[in-house]
Structure 1
Amino acid sequence: MDETLTPYSGLSLWHATAGDLTPRAGLEGDTTADVAIVGGGLTGLWTAWYLLDRDPGLRVVVLEKEIAGFGASGRNGGWLSALFPRSTASLERAHGRNQALALRRAMIATIAEVGSVTAAMGLDCDFTREGTVAYARSGVQERAARAEIAEAAHYGVDEIAWRGAEEVRASGARGAAFDRNCASVHPAKLVRGLASALEARGARILEGTAVTSVSPGRVETEHGVVSADRVVVATEGYTATFPATHRRILPLYSLMIATEPLPPEFWESTGLRRGQTFTDYRHLLIYGQRTADDRFAFGGRGARYHWGSAIRAEYDRAPRVFEHLRRTLAELFPGSADAQITHRWGGPLGVPRDWHASVTYDPASRIGRAGGYVGDGLSTTNLAGRTLADLLTGVDSELTRLPWVGHSSPDWEPEPLRFLGANAGMLAMAAADVEERITGRSSVIAKVMGPLVGH
């Protein structure tokens, strides 16, 4: 595949600044492996990394339709957070307090794990642990922030504290909840660097190799068959493109913009440290970071779900959503209003029907799977990779006993119910924000929607 024919550098700011994106060679004919991994994103690559930690002699093959890091792993907001799609209270209701807290502790520990492993491999991915600032820009949002802080104190695991208006400088902010358990990274540098480090350890990464079907001991592609003792499927939002798993994951688009680098005096006015991430308490999610080269990388939801779980390159660009993001960023930081927007991009993330990420391994079929991160996957993929490595090698560990292991989410409804429900949910979150602005009270709409989105 010629880079001039598929300009991967145009996928996002991250790809444009990640270095060499020349595709690796693909599969040519049949081959064998101990473990075949479908998907060259972070779940697949971290699984390969930890498998080789446990057994350096394993023959590991990673199969990727495009290039490693093509999908959400290379395009996301760069939040290496402890966020899990389901809240702690929701996890407690489903699995009990001890199990919920075990998963929370594992997620928090994952941040340090990624930092230490990337440092040990000498990978410069702009890892910076400066925490997350969640602005409260109204009375309703302040109450939500203080409730989150109280919930964190109740469980005693997460570290979230209130910062007053004098400490935060977003326009109109009454204060903010500060969560120290978040780092930021350059996601494409992370995933591309991890792929190169894996090759140095002997893993084969076959790019430009589209998988057509997976069955026990066999992965079929357009260019040959890989026979393997064990198989891992790590395709996240693209899981919907396979007929056998078409309704297992809903591909929901999230879009981002990036500004030109901004001067030191501007950043001084914002109070944001380099590498710090930020959001607020609106229901239609936004997320951002101050990058290592002093840009805003800023994203949010709002793009509609497409009929039949379709994934197409043209869906990565939605001018209406990009304009909404530009206006929202200027509302938060008026000094950025005239900044040039240098990059616009998007892509699908994977949403399970119950918003509950999972890791599974079937000893009978010897097929493992992980995903359903709902956009909180940058660190969760590492935890999934370590867990899958234990499951595939028969290790009984604290990780394999976490409550997301073996969890089975129900399938999404068939069309047209899926289309109507997904887009109605998006509209409901936007309506909830309007409701709160008008009434000054917590949204009734959001309360009704809460159980459906993991709260």
Structure 2
Amino acid sequence: MIPAMPSTGYRGLSLWHDTIDDIEPRPSLDRDLEVDVAIVGAGYTGLWTAYHLVTADPSIRVAVIEKEVAGYGASGRNGGWCSALFPASLRRMAAERGRDAAVRMQHLLHDTVADVGRIATAEGIDCHFDQGGYLSVARNPAQLERVREEVAEHREWGFGEADHRLLDAHEVTAFAGVSDALGGSFTPHCAAIHPARLVRGLADAVERRGVVIHERTMAADVRSHRVVTPHGTVRADHVVLATEGYTPTVAGRRRAIAPIYSLMTATEPLPEHLWAQIGLDKRTTFADNRHLTIYGQRTRDGRIAFGGRGAPYHYASKVSPLYDRDERVHAALRRILVELFPVLDGVTFTHAWGGNLGVPRDWFPSVRHDRHTGLAFAGGYVGDGVATSALAGRTLAAMIRDDDPDDLASLPWAGRTSRDWEPEPLRWLGVNAVTALMTSADWSERRTGRPSRAASAFWAALGQ
């Protein structure tokens, strides 16, 4: 059994919140306010946007409105992968703006991983940043075929072994003692972090530069040039919606993003004799190549934090703290982790938590700003948002300031809008059918060793 989570304040939200200092909410908005830029959401996207705005122009007036506290949502609860992974394939990105733009986007994501670490160091944010790369393990022939295809595809786009390389079974064991490994791939463009330390540190960093953050303040209405809250209205030249998986709770945006729950669990700190068998000496993040996503990391305090999908989508895009825990899914995650590392059989799991992430209808994140209305948005990261949001914030800041020397507005995700999700009950049926499809595909591949045609057809239909 997992011990009861702490129930006071925000400590019980996740392992990450449970291993930082107590969170004292900042003052709520209690009056009308006029600024240059109003940002709704104090997660990574909102805070990176604020950071790049005020570092480029210290005179700009920025206010951040947050319903709970900075890092309450996915930014504080995620798996702690600061990676260059992107939900849309290079082929899909090229369909938007051409091959060169797709390749440039991927290179920028590579650079952004290191940039997050560099900025964290410069700002004194001890977010446990260790760039040990990402290991994807193939544990059946179907997964191995997929890994080989992915590496070959990267070669076709001009990325060499330094960016993405194929591993045989012996090479996998040099990184981690994953059971039944047939091979895998490795990219250095990923760091393990403590996500709550990063987001809370970013909030402090922007405050030092004059950004005002109002927590425990609900944005009841978000529209051109204003954000209405119960106790005051923020008027601004530009309004940024940075609410990711909580976007459906904003008036008029119920179908813009589907909030999908991803759940996590964590072990107790493990003794050295177990780490000697597990590996992950450089805190390399890890997963196998199944369709229903899983993800893990070795924490600085010697635990394994491990998560994955499988929780249901809730009717009408509802979000609720009640959905953060699902014993069926958490039990499955614990079982999968022990399958990956059998030496963990019998260890104590101390934490179980979850939260929602934002999925657009076409699995393609967006960054956009309308100069006429002043409205801006970035999000839809499908769970790959730690580094991606940093690039999004940098891009939004350039768009808002109309100062874009790096031509970020020409990237494949800039200026685009995904179409809305279907109305209910079609949305509920479709999203949960995809989860069932991926679960079935993984079962079939384990049993037969052959790639799932159904899963391949789904990704092809998305243009991936």
TM superposition score normalised by structure 2: 0.95
Pairs within 5 Å for 1:180-195: 180-195=188-203
Question: Where does residue 257 of structure 1 map in the other structure?
Answer: 265
The reply to whether residue 162 of structure 1 matches residue 166 of structure 2 is yes
Counterpart CA distance in 2 for 1:285 and 1:43 is 23
Asked if 2 retains the 8 angstrom alpha-carbon contact of 1:10 and 1:16, the reply is yes
SS in 1 for 2:220: strand
Question: Where does residue 391 of structure 1 map in the other structure?
Answer: 399
Counterpart CA distance in 1 for 2:125 and 2:138 is 35
The reply to whether residue 80 of structure 1 matches residue 82 of structure 2 is yes
Counterpart CA distance in 2 for 1:286 and 1:153 is 25
Counterpart CA distance in 1 for 2:7 and 2:350 is 22
Question: Where does residue 137 of structure 1 map in the other structure?
Answer: 139
Asked if 1 retains the 8 angstrom alpha-carbon contact of 2:39 and 2:241, the reply is yes
SS in 1 for 2:125: coil
The reply to whether residue 297 of structure 1 matches residue 299 of structure 2 is no
Counterpart CA distance in 2 for 1:19 and 1:381 is 24
Amino acid at match of 1:360: R
Question: Where does residue 353 of structure 1 map in the other structure?
Answer: 361
Asked if 2 retains the 8 angstrom alpha-carbon contact of 1:68 and 1:195, the reply is yes
SS in 2 for 1:245: coil
Question: Where does residue 446 of structure 1 map in the other structure?
Answer: 455
Counterpart CA distance in 2 for 1:72 and 1:10 is 14
Aligned to 2:285, which of 254, 270, 277?
Answer: 277
Amino acid at match of 1:446: A
Question: Deviation per CA, 1:287-306, whole angstroms, max 9, x where unpaired?
Answer: 00011111100000000000
Counterpart CA distance in 2 for 1:173 and 1:372 is 32
Counterpart CA distance in 2 for 1:303 and 1:98 is 37
Counterpart CA distance in 2 for 1:319 and 1:28 is 40
How far apart are 1:452 and its partner, in Å?
Answer: 4.7
Question: Deviation per CA, 1:179-228, whole angstroms, max 9, x where unpaired?
Answer: 11111110000000110111111111100000001122111011211111
Pairs within 5 Å for 1:107-118: 107-118=109-120
Question: Where does residue 346 of structure 2 map in the other structure?
Answer: 338
Counterpart CA distance in 2 for 1:142 and 1:7 is 45
Asked if 1 retains the 8 angstrom alpha-carbon contact of 2:29 and 2:217, the reply is yes
Counterpart CA distance in 2 for 1:26 and 1:454 is 44
Question: Where does residue 255 of structure 2 map in the other structure?
Answer: 247
Counterpart CA distance in 2 for 1:449 and 1:43 is 29
Unaligned runs of 5+ in 2: 1-5
Question: Where does residue 8 of structure 1 map in the other structure?
Answer: 10
Question: Where does residue 123 of structure 2 map in the other structure?
Answer: 121
Counterpart CA distance in 2 for 1:362 and 1:5 is 42
Pairs within 5 Å for 1:8-47: 8-47=10-49
Question: Where does residue 320 of structure 2 map in the other structure?
Answer: 312
Q: 1:63 to 1:454 in 2, by over 3 A?
A: farther
Counterpart CA distance in 2 for 1:157 and 1:438 is 33
Pairs within 5 Å for 1:420-435: 420-435=429-444
How far apart are 1:136 and its partner, in Å?
Answer: 0.8
Structure 1 vs Structure 2: percent identity of aligned residues?
A: 51
Asked if 2 retains the 8 angstrom alpha-carbon contact of 1:95 and 1:403, the reply is yes
Counterpart CA distance in 2 for 1:302 and 1:67 is 27
How far apart are 1:90 and its partner, in Å?
Answer: 2.2
Task: State the superposition RMSD in angstroms.
Answer: 1.3
Counterpart CA distance in 2 for 1:440 and 1:171 is 16
Aligned residues: 452
Asked if 2 retains the 8 angstrom alpha-carbon contact of 1:39 and 1:64, the reply is yes
Counterpart CA distance in 1 for 2:68 and 2:50 is 18
How far apart are 1:271 and its partner, in Å?
Answer: 2.4
Asked if 2 retains the 8 angstrom alpha-carbon contact of 1:104 and 1:157, the reply is no
Counterpart CA distance in 2 for 1:81 and 1:220 is 35
Question: Where does residue 407 of structure 1 map in the other structure?
Answer: 416
Question: Deviation per CA, 1:159-195, whole angstroms, max 9, x where unpaired?
Answer: 1112222232201111221111111110000000110
Moved more, 364-373 or 150-159: 150-159
Question: Deviation per CA, 1:283-338, whole angstroms, max 9, x where unpaired?
Answer: 11100001111110000000000000000111000000000000000000011121
Asked if 2 retains the 8 angstrom alpha-carbon contact of 1:131 and 1:179, the reply is yes
Question: Where does residue 52 of structure 1 map in the other structure?
Answer: 54
Aligned to 1:106, which of 105, 108, 124?
Answer: 108
Amino acid at match of 2:147: A
SS in 1 for 2:396: helix
The reply to whether residue 326 of structure 1 matches residue 340 of structure 2 is no
Q: 1:452 to 1:371 in 2, by over 3 A?
A: farther
How far apart are 1:453 and its partner, in Å?
Answer: 5.2
Amino acid at match of 1:137: R
Moved more, 151-160 or 309-318: 151-160
Amino acid at match of 2:189: N
Counterpart CA distance in 1 for 2:417 and 2:46 is 20
Counterpart CA distance in 1 for 2:159 and 2:16 is 32
Question: Deviation per CA, 1:102-137, whole angstroms, max 9, x where unpaired?
Answer: 111111111111111111111110000000111111
Moved more, 259-268 or 306-315: 259-268
Q: 1:5 to 1:211 in 2, by over 3 A?
A: farther
